[in-house]
A and B are shown apart, each in its own frame.
Chain A
Amino acid sequence: MTETVVFAVFAIAAIAGGLVMVGARNPVYSAMGLLTTMFSMAVFYVLNDAHFVAAVQVIVYAGAVMTLFLFVIMLIGVDREDDRTERLPRQRPLALLLGLGLLALVLVAARAAWITGFGIFTGSPVNGTIENVADELFGTWMIPFQATVLLLTIAAVGTVALAQFGSRPPRVRSQNEGPQ
């Protein structure tokens, strides 16, 4: 019963956060909406006994990634709103239509397996403590873990390279690519 109430509340919060993120004019509001969704996700992880993953969600996503996003938003300028002039007519309604179609497709195609198929949770409970996660991560999944280390290193080096090479050539602006 408790799980039902918590799920309902945070499901509404997650969906509202997503809608705010997509709809807000100011990018800061978008970031706040996404933050709401991220925290709701952490709550769902706790409901599913994934405690360590919930902590990682809050620390890495809601903490680090969203801070990075807000930092870049502030750097680029918050006072500037999107110009909503549409260059491609009919694109926005078409996009909304495609989104609704995708939703209908996903829900209909998988309804049989999701809503009726699984029933209540039947698997033997897995407690996602740090110990259980680490046993599996540093045992069976050691090589993929090392690969992610490599990936993070490559990403860091690539970011530094982008910052370096992006600033080297002198800024030459031709007529047609000035600020709009």
Chain B
Amino acid sequence: MTVTPGWYMALAAVLFVIGATGILVRRNALIMFMSIELMLNAVNLTFVAAGRQLGLIEGQLAVLFVVVVAAAEVTVGLAIIVAVFRRRATASVDELSGMKG
């Protein structure tokens, strides 16, 4: 048995769903952030596998761009979490109901 692109895609789908479920289930803002990273990684895997299947190097370039955007996103997101923590002394998104009125 050889590893077909389908196996990579299926694995990426499973990882993506784990990440999406983590966002739905967890309250901790940090772990929700890590779930987003997991979803981005799953998509990167599909890019690389599809690029190999199609014989294009653009799949790997897409991964590079996703990594750059993810790094920028993590920087800003963690800064927001730290800023919120300094005010509220919590990282739980349930506590952040200030705009509820």
Contacts and interface: CB of A to CB of B under 8 A. Distances in A.
B86 A162 contact: no
A79 interface: no
Interface string B11-35: 1011111111110111110110111
A interface secondary structure, majority: helix
Given A18-B38, A41-B44, A179-B88, A125 B15 contact: no
A76 B91 contact: yes
A99 B20 contact: yes
Categorize the interface residue count of chain B.
Answer: 35 or more
Contacts, number: 239
B61 A137 contact: yes
Interface of B: 1-11, 13-22, 24-28, 30-31, 33-35, 37-38, 41, 44-45, 48-49, 51-61, 63-65, 67-76, 78-83, 85-92, 94-95, 98
Which 8 A-B residue pairings sit nearest by Cβ, starting from the closest? A123-B55, A99-B21, A95-B24, A155-B72, A114-B6, A166-B83, A22-B22, A179-B89
26 contacts: A18-B22, A30-B30, A44-B45, A44-B48, A48-B8, A50-B59, A65-B74, A69-B33, A69-B74, A82-B28, A83-B92, A87-B94, A95-B24, A96-B25, A98-B21, A99-B17, A103-B13, A118-B5, A118-B6, A123-B52, A126-B52, A144-B65, A148-B65, A163-B79, A163-B82, A180-B90
